[in-house]
Structure 1
Amino acid sequence: MAAGGFCKLPNGSVVVALNLPGLGPAGGTDGGTARVRVLVLAQNRARALTRLRNLGLRAVYLRGNAAPPSPDEITAVLHHPDGLIWRTAPDNGVIATELWHPIRALLRGTAVARP
């Protein structure tokens, strides 16, 4: 089960954040890669999860609000035209310095991880 959370915005839309295991080029899990943090902007939580499932991430569920998006993450997803972004999830509370990537880069396997 993926850790994640959500935040309801004043206009009624929702930002959902999920920590998922590393994804391979075909969208499946790959045990050797780092975890990723995925952000989705949608009208409600169900639509956010549907957007991910339509991309091939079938086993994505949000249970609870253990890891809601930070204000910086909300700003990043609001300013992205697709409203669906990702980056590697930092470990042990380390602040991430990696830039956000469009979800297409993750699912095609064309993204290059930068330290």
Structure 2
Amino acid sequence: MAGGGFVKLPDGSVVVALSLPSPPGGEARPGARVRVLVHAANRQRALTRVRNLGLRAVFLRGNSEPPSPDEVSAALHHPDGLVWRSAPEDETEWWHPIARLLRRPAGAA
């Protein structure tokens, strides 16, 4: 189960924050949790964007871990509106594009 939450912006769009287990083969430490931020027109579209990346079992139930103002700013200022970092122990870590999280290991088919 993913922990997370959302915040609705004045223009009607939302930023959804999800805390997920790190997928295998990405840049994050195996077994670590990552915080994923998604900017989209609504919550359903945000979750669809994450699911289309291969993270199929992502659901948002409730609003227990809404994004902080810094997280909202990070999602809004990234061209894709979809970023991640190791959750949330290291506040000094930079936000990364989602492609770096989902990168396949060398030699994988």
TM-score (normalised: structure 1): 0.84
For residues 60 and 80 of structure 1, the distance between their equivalents in structure 2, rounded to whole angstroms, comes to: 22
Taking the aligned partners of 1:68 and 1:109, their CA distance within structure 2 comes to 29
Does the aligned pair in 1 maintain the 2:16–2:38 contact within 8 Å? yes
Shift of 1:109: 4.8
Instruction: Using the TM superposition, give the Cα deviation of residue 22 of structure 1 relative to its aligned residue in structure 2, in angstroms.
Output: 1.3
Moved over 6 A (4+): none
Check whether the contact 2:33–2:87 (CA below 8 A) recurs between aligned residues.
yes
Query: Is 1:72 paired with 2:90?
Result: no
Contact 2:36 2:84 in 1 (8 A): yes
Which residue of 2 is the match for residue 99 of structure 1? 94
The structural deviation recorded for 1:3 is: 0.5
The residue that corresponds to 2:81 in the other structure is 83
- Structure 1: distance between partners of 2:23 and 2:92: 20
TM-score by length of 2: 0.88
Secondary structure of the equivalent of 2:85?
Answer: strand
Q: Does the CA-based 8 Å contact 2:23-2:30 persist in structure 1?
A: no
- Report the Cα distance in structure 1 between the residues aligned to 2:94 and 2:12, rounded to whole angstroms: 27
Structure 2 unaligned blocks of 5 or more = none
Count of matched residue positions in the alignment of Structure 1 and Structure 2: 104
